[in-house]
Amino acid sequence: MIKPIIWSTVFTFIAAILQSTIISKFTFISVIPDLTLIILVYIAFSNGTMVGQVSGFSSGLILDFFTAAPLGYNMLIRTIVGFLVGLLNGSVYLDIFIFPILLTGVTTILKAIVVFFLHILFSGMLPFYRITEPVFWIELLVNMVLAPFVFSFLKLFKKILVVPRNVL
């Protein structure tokens, strides 16, 4: 169980560096795809709730250091998302194209909802997604378009990213 957590942290760290440096230079209407979220979705769905929430916590910690968000902001969001996506482990077949798109879309919306509740909880001191603005919808679309490619790439590393199931 520890191996997927360590490797997902490594992949998330690399994705966070890519997001904050290279990809941020090629944005469309200041929208950066959330590669770390897509990686978290794959890890949590493939391994379950425990690995999902620990990977979410570690990826959130990495993002908290890379962004100007308050420490713990991304950790809380990613931990909740990792747990909820991990609940789907073993319940749905993961195909190569449609399911990654749908799951990433739902997860991006879920992230926006959690961010909104945190915004309300902290009396408007934290930023949130405005679903009426095109930035949220473009990020949603970009995440959904990238999901099958990221999932396919991560499947190449299935041996180190996924806990093998016990066969009875």
Domains of the chain: 2-160 (1.10.1760)
Question: What percentage of the chain reaches a pLDDT higher than 70?
Answer: 97
Q: Rg of the Cα trace of the chain?
A: 15
Instruction: For residues 101 and 104, give the distance between their C-alpha atoms in angstroms, rounded to a whole number.
Output: 5
Task: For residue range 30-54, list pLDDT tens digits in order.
Answer: 788 999 999 999 999 999 999 999 9
Dihedral-angle region of residue 31 (phi above 0 means left; psi in -120 to 50 means alpha; beta otherwise): beta
CA angle 139, 143, 145 (to 5 degrees): 115
Sign of torsion over alpha carbons 126, 129, 133, 136: positive
Task: For residue range 102-143, list pLDDT tens digits in order.
Answer: 999 999 999 999 988 888 888 777 777 777 788 889 999 999
Q: How many residues does the chain have?
A: 168
Q: Give the type of residue at 64.
A: D
Instruction: For residues 117 and 76, give the distance between their C-alpha atoms in angstroms, rounded to a whole number.
Output: 12
Instruction: For residues 42 and 161, give the distance between their C-alpha atoms in angstroms, rounded to a whole number.
Output: 9
**What is the pLDDT of the chain when averaged over all its residues?**
89
pLDDT band (50, 70, 90) for residue 15 = very high
Task: For residue range 48-75, list pLDDT tens digits in order.
Answer: 999 999 999 999 999 999 888 888 999 9
User: Are the CB atoms for 61 and 12 separated by under 8 Å?
Assistant: no
Q: What's this model's pTM, rounded to 2 decimal places?
A: 0.92
Dihedral-angle region of residue 126 (phi above 0 means left; psi in -120 to 50 means alpha; beta otherwise): beta
